[in-house]
A and B are shown apart, each in its own frame.
Chain A
């Protein structure tokens, strides 16, 4: 055997040995987890299906945002613009896409089984669910590839996304509960037929997508590669913060803009005005924010309402701090503008405070209406919490890149790099501290909310004041 062949054989042996070891170690835990999935909670079926549908929609939207057909910067420079057949240049990309789709599909299938349950024939139903899940993700990714090449398919992808969101809304609303119960109780043979149809449809789409890949114009792949390349650079350097920056640039670069006179405001407000204008120019994002108000009520059914309400309010607040993010990442424009940093930040806190007030207020009203919260004016917490959330959103926007020089701590569960951990917690820490009375009230559910409201209003204002005073 030649040395390279020996090495290849050794590589294969290592991979097979690794898989066998994994199966031996994880076999029992996985089978017990899968057995526990057999029992589904009929009350949570609608919520679960809504979440699965939203995850699938998110998967497809991400695939489209990424390209999905893109190549590395080196391939884009050297191999794409060459006489090499496109199929060979893009072969690796296709394999990566297929792997991602299959892995996502398996996870989706298992989640599907967890939601619908398996009253009998667990193995058979698991295989059916996985087959359906893989067909959905592989077929969906094939549609995303076709959408990259042809406008007509792009329209179909848009329709698919809208249908998925509507299905999620229907499932969450409980209207589809009877249908879901019928599906869950259907015999395994019916599931097999659905899986077979889905797999056939996915196979046809994959065939068409592969044909599109081999004919895809270089300009489309180059455009996607630039997007993915920037994102990959950010991921390689483990600076997730720049991903937001890249996403913003990509969004606005492809849009037709129209100048409007700048309102005559005092300097800090004139600077902060750009965030208001930018958000007003994104009705879809505003619609998404408005729609997501119902998510905490949805998550409350799964026992995660408190986390959803806080995370959602912080996420919404973070939608209004682009200007602060830009100036923190590259202060050249801030030097040119010469506006006092603290007053600029104070002016920039107004929008995230307003956004979180509106969102949290509406979410708390819905939670109260759904009976997930005891009686009382819970919505009053929204304005009380808003300053703390605005400070936290500004802290998130202005955080430094991940510090990889920070130590890695060995724990029984494995090595934990503290750099990314600290980075991820920057901003969230301020939200947790600044919203403590609200969180405690959510946990303790006191008979009267007055004390908690007063404490929250004081702490919220102090959090923002302290953040602005310490801002550098």
Chain B
């Protein structure tokens, strides 16, 4: 059996004595897509933050790629997190942002080809990304002048443009129209088919489709 890429055992998180997560167990294999679902306030985002190493567990263990997640560059080179909207750099256009990300992550290593949203293991140029994410005509626009949904597309494009082996998505459907949600589901399918792993917190039935394993969180007591 394949060794899990993520292993969570008895994870409990409390904020000021209030439990948010209680005794959560989770194992995710490479190439798997997991949708964490549940009502508001059940700790979906907190679980993702724990997986990203941004939240310390009150008790329990979290291992990602065989070690506790570390908030350092080697970890972030493998993991792409899409949660809150990033702070767009002022004076840079949509295309500039993608161009900069591509310059920082030139190509993908031949030794460990990273999965992409088309299923291929090669890199994509900025024009392809703009086209795929419906932003072709918005390349010269500042991200702050895009609509909410377009900014979410740009955030997702930024995450897909750089190489990664694990995608952590917190409500990726935020602001997206129904057609693009379906397209996003196909992209995530292709990404996992190419060996990538996805863990997402979502309320969207399209994204939490049958091909995706569902984990339901209940309110912690």
List A residues 275-295 near B (Cβ within 8 Å): 277-278, 281
Encode B53-92 as 1/0 by CB contact (under 8 A) with A.
0000000000000000000010011001101111111111
Report Cα–Cα, A264/B105, bound state, in Å: 11
* A49: min CB distance to chain B, Å: 36
Give Cα distance in the complex from A330 to B84, angstroms. 9
Asked if B84 and A332 sit within 8 Å, CB to CB, the answer is: yes
Please determine whether B87 and A322 come into contact, CB atoms closer than 8 angstroms: no
When distances are taken between beta carbons in the complex, the residues of chain A under 8 Å from B103 are 262-265, 267, 270
Which B residues are in CB contact (< 8 Å) with A338? 73, 76-77, 104-105, 162
In contact, A251 and B90 (Cβ under 8 angstroms): yes
A267 to B87, alpha carbons, bound, how many Å? 19
A-contact bits for B28-55, CB 8 A (1 contact / 0 none): 0000000000000000000000001000
Asked whether B95 is an interface residue with its Cβ less than 8 Å from the other chain, the reply is yes
- The stretch that binds B, out of A178-186, A212-220, A252-260, A429-437, is A252-260
A258, B89: Cα distance in complex, Å: 14
**CB contact between A259 and one of B52, B73, B77, B140 (< 8 Å): that residue:** B140
Contact status of A262 and B100, CB under 8 A, knowing A335-B76, A340-B73:
yes
Number of interface residues of A (CB under 8 A): 38
Interface of A is mostly: helix
The number of chain B residues with a CB under 8 A from chain A is 37
Any chain A CB within 8 A of the CB of B142? yes
Contact B86 A259 (CB under 8 A): no
Q: Does B218 contact A (CB under 8 A)?
A: no
Nearest-Cβ distance from residue A349 to partner chain B, whole angstroms:
17
Nearest residue, chain A, Cβ from B158: A336
**Inside 8 A of A261's CB, which chain B residues have their CB?**
99
Which A residues touch B76, using CB under 8 A?
335-338
Residues of A close to B96: CB separation below 8 A = 257, 259-260, 262, 274, 277
Q: How far is the CA of A277 from the CA of B97 in the complex (A)?
A: 12
Q: Which residue of B lies closest to A278 (CB)?
A: B91
Residue of B nearest to A270 (CB): B103
A257, B141: Cβ atoms closer than 8 Å:
yes
Residues in B with CB closer than 8 Å to A322 are 89-91
Q: Are A336 and B162 in contact (CB under 8 A)?
A: yes
Contact indicator A330/B86 (Cβ below 8 Å): yes
Set B84, B86, B140: member contacting A257, Cβ < 8 A: B140
What are 10 A-B pairs at a CB distance below 8 A?
Answer: A252-B91, A253-B142, A257-B92, A262-B100, A262-B102, A262-B103, A270-B103, A322-B90, A336-B76, A338-B77
Residues on A lying within 8 angstroms of B by beta carbon are 248-249, 251-253, 255, 257-265, 267, 270-271, 273-274, 277-278, 281, 322-323, 326-327, 329-330, 332-333, 335-341
| Apart from A270-B104, A333-B89, A336-B158, 13 more pairs, CB < 8 Å | A253-B144, A257-B92, A259-B93, A259-B94, A271-B100, A326-B88, A326-B90, A330-B84, A330-B87, A332-B83, A335-B76, A336-B162, A338-B104
